[in-house]
């Protein structure tokens, strides 16, 4: 029996209610909503209220305090080198592994994604595009990113690039099992207007499920597992998600759940 392919997509600092399928009345995500309605959806998946702890736990299967990646700065954003990652497991079992986007679990050896089981990496550095460890002058558009540590200039919006590079990887490895980890750095915004603008202007993210599934079908690639999750760092939509995320109608309860509980589709 052929091994299943796995595609895992995680968005950055996005709240539970920042999708149409979780009750947002303003942000339109029709393709994600359609995928949500057709897929198996785990409704009580929990994440950390920061990006690095969520990513480290996802990669290692351990809580942040145990794996060493429990903050976003102060040297506490590096996943311990002794930890076995999801990519290590896939790679050790004959998979081609690719990582695209935001890592934020260490920028130097032996903490980089290419040191942690990923054979093909296209990523920015630090906790966001344009931060200090990243390439000077990066600003989401026409940036220079790191391909297995080497600088390569790109044209276009950052999320478009992550998905386009992931699609190249999928097509190139269609004849063998692969694990594609697409970790966007968007929305990653502190204000509601920027979150809305980021999602609305970014067709690759809102169309991601449809685009990936179409590519797989057209390329004849067998897909077994395709998951989308969010980090739930902050939500701009506490009022509109209170009915869906709160068990007792309390707005405070809804606010707390909005920062920890998410769907994994």
Instruction: Cite the active site residues.
Output: 51, 104
Contacts of 183 (CB under 8 A, 6+ apart): 9, 10, 12, 55, 99, 100, 101, 102, 103, 162
Nearest to 19 by CA among 10, 11, 28: 28
The tokens for 109 are 């050896």
The answer to whether residues 181 and 118 touch, using CB atoms and an 8 Å cutoff, is: yes
Distance, in Å, from the CA atom of 263 to the CA atom of 265, rounded to the nearest integer, reads 6
CB 145 within 8 A of CB 161: yes
CB under 8 Å to 122, separation ≥6 — which residues? Answer: 98, 99, 100, 101, 145, 146, 147, 152, 161, 162, 165
For residue 210, report the phi and psi dihedrals to the nearest 5 degrees.
Answer: -65, -45
80: left (phi over 0), alpha (psi -120 to 50) or beta: beta
């Amino acid at each position: 029996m052929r091994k299943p392919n796995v595609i895992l997509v995680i968005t950055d600092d996005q709240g539970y209610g920042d999708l149409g399928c979780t009750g947002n009345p303003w942000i339109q995500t029709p393709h994600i909503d359609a995928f949500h309605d057709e897929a198996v959806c785990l409704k009580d998946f929990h994440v950390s209220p920061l990006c690095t702890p969520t990513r480290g736990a996802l990669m290692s299967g351990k809580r942040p305090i145990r794996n060493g990646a429990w903050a976003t700065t102060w040297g506490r954003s590096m996943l311990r080198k002794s930890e076995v990652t999801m990519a290590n497991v896939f790679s050790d079992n004959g998979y081609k592994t690719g990582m695209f986007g935001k890592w934020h679990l260490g920028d130097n050896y032996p903490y980089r994604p290419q040191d942690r089981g990923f054979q093909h990496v296209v990523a920015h550095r630090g906790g966001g595009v344009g931060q200090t460890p990243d390439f000077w002058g990066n600003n989401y558009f026409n940036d220079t990113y790191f391909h297995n540590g080497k600088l390569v200039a790109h044209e276009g919006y950052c999320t478009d690039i992550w998905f386009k590079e992931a699609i190249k990887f999928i097509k190139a490895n269609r004849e063998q099992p692969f694990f594609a980890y697409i970790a966007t750095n968007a929305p990653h915004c502190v204000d509601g207007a920027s979150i809305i603008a980021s999602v609305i202007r970014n067709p690759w993210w809102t169309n991601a499920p449809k685009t990936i599934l179409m590519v797989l079908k057209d390329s004849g690639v067998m897909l077994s597992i395709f998951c989308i999750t969010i980090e739930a760092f902050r939500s701009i939509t506490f009022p509109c998600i209170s009915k869906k995320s709160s068990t007792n109608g309390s707005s405070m309860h809804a606010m707390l759940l909005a920062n920890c509980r998410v769907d994994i589709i």
